[in-house]
């Protein structure tokens, strides 16, 4: 029948009039455009940043990257020995401190909070406190580090002070992300294990931690990127922004723990500050930013790959 009609009050209406698209979801379409615009803005900012930094730093990366990589902090940008080796070494050791201190302590605290701690007002208070700590400005951690690890050593700043300070800074983030990953373990898994006579320790070791591993890993690696990118607390604990004499010891030598130090973000801050009087520092800062960004992207990609691997393994 060519003209299908519906309706029971005599008024014949064509089916086509009703079931063809009539723009019912206009608000939805509008909402979608707003979301897309938000995404476009964030992406655009990132692109502008990358282009800017690359343009600034390109001369250095292109012409003398090898020297730049192995060079040290200098007072003149025209110095051929100007480079980031000290910053790389400092940031490397800071990452090690964070991994060695913040990861085990943070994950353990999260396991205790989620699996052992009784649910009462005290644990609620602790939970809220940790969440608040994660939001405390990083300079405050810098002050803490200054008083705890620098003033106690007669005001001598050290790589160790910086590393421990940043480990403390990311500790709450590690606890929160790990706790969330642990909370997401299905209770049916735990019950299944308890049901065949597993002890709490068995359940945590063989069910909870493997299942939560991808989430925990992502959180910890993201917090590592955060620590490596922090500048403010390091400035407070006395990282060197100006000229730092080259050390005698090896590049990654642990003997530098108690020495004066710098780190990649600090190198960048220092050079940007000095670019006012010596324009050459702007290019060096750009190149240093490119290197730092590359490291951060590398770590974050590593986090994603590892998470995917563990998720696949978990089935």
Task: Out of 69, 92, 194, 257, point to the residue binding another protein (CB under 8 A).
Answer: 194
User: What track of x and - describes contact with another protein for positions 92 through 121 (by CB under 8 A)?
Assistant: --------------------------xx--
**Alpha-carbon distance 89 to 93, whole Å?**
6
CB 297 to another protein: min, Å:
30
By CB under 8 A, residue 2 contacts another protein: no
CB 308 to another protein: min, Å:
15
Give the three-class secondary structure for 82. Answer: strand
Task: Out of 68, 103, 211, 261, point to the residue binding another protein (CB under 8 A).
Answer: 211
CB 315 to another protein: min, Å:
4
Q: Which range of residues in 92-100, 163-171, 203-211, 296-304 is near another protein by CB under 8 A?
A: 203-211
By CB under 8 A, residue 307 contacts another protein: no
**Alpha-carbon distance 220 to 214, whole Å?**
10
190-229 CB burial, b ≥16 within 10 A, e <16: beebeeeebeeeebbeebbbebbbbbbbbbbbbbbbbbbb
**Alpha-carbon distance 234 to 250, whole Å?**
22
Contact 264, 289 (CB under 8 A): no
Q: How many residues of this chain interact with another protein, rule: CB under 8 A? A: 23
Q: Which range of residues in 22-30, 47-55, 187-195, 221-229 is near another protein by CB under 8 A?
A: 187-195
Kindly provide the residue ranges of all beta strands, DSSP E only, lying in the chain, ordered along the sequence. 5-6, 13-14
How far CA 27 is from CA of 20, 136, 195, in Å, comes to 18, 39, 51
Closer Cβ to another protein, 27 or 119, answer by number: 119
By CB under 8 A, residue 207 contacts another protein: yes
Q: Which residues pair with 6 in a beta bridge?
A: 13
**Alpha-carbon distance 34 to 26, whole Å?**
13
Closer Cβ to another protein, 23 or 315, answer by number: 315
Cβ-proximal residues to 238 (8 Å cutoff; 6+ apart), any chain: 146, 150, 155, 157, 161, 260
User: What track of x and - describes contact with another protein for positions 212 through 241 (by CB under 8 A)?
Assistant: ------------------------------
By CB under 8 A, residue 127 contacts another protein: no
Closer Cβ to another protein, 189 or 232, answer by number: 189
Contact 66, 132 (CB under 8 A): no
Q: Which range of residues in 104-112, 134-142, 195-203, 282-290 is near another protein by CB under 8 A?
A: 195-203
> Using CB under 8 A as the criterion, which residues of the chain lie in contact with another protein when the complex forms?
118-119, 186-199, 202, 206-207, 210-211, 314-315
């Amino acid at each position: 029948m060519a003209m299908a009609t519906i309706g029971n009050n005599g008024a014949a209406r064509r089916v086509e009039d009703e079931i063809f698209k009539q723009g019912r979801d206009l608000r939805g379409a509008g909402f979608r455009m707003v979301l897309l615009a938000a995404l476009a803005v964030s992406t655009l900012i990132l692109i502008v940043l990358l282009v800017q930094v690359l343009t600034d730093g390109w001369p250095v990366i292109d012409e003398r990257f090898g020297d730049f990589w192995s060079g040290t902090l200098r007072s003149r940008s025209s110095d051929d020995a100007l480079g980031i080796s000290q910053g790389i070494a400092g940031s490397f050791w800071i990452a090690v401190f964070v991994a060695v201190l913040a990861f085990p302590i943070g994950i353990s605290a999260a396991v205790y909070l989620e699996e052992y701690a009784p649910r009462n007002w005290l644990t609620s208070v602790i939970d809220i406190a940790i969440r608040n700590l994660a939001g405390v400005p990083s300079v405050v951690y810098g002050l803490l580090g200054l008083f705890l690890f620098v003033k106690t050593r007669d005001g001598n700043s050290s790589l160790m002070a910086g590393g421990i300070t940043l480990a403390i800074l990311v500790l709450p983030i590690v606890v929160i992300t790990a706790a969330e990953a642990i909370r997401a373990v299905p209770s049916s898994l735990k019950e299944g294990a308890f049901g065949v006579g597993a002890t709490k320790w068995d359940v945590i070791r063989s069910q909870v931690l493997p299942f939560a591993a991808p989430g925990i890993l992502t959180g910890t690696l993201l917090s590592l990127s955060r620590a490596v990118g922090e500048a403010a607390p390091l400035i407070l604990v006395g990282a060197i922004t100006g000229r730092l004499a080259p050390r005698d010891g090896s590049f990654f030598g642990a003997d530098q723990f108690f020495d004066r130090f710098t780190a990649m973000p600090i190198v960048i801050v220092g050079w940007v500050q000095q670019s006012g009087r010596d324009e050459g520092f702007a290019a060096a800062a750009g190149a240093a930013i490119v290197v730092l960004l590359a490291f951060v992207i590398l770590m974050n990609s590593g986090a994603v790959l590892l998470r995917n691997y563990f998720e696949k393994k978990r089935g």
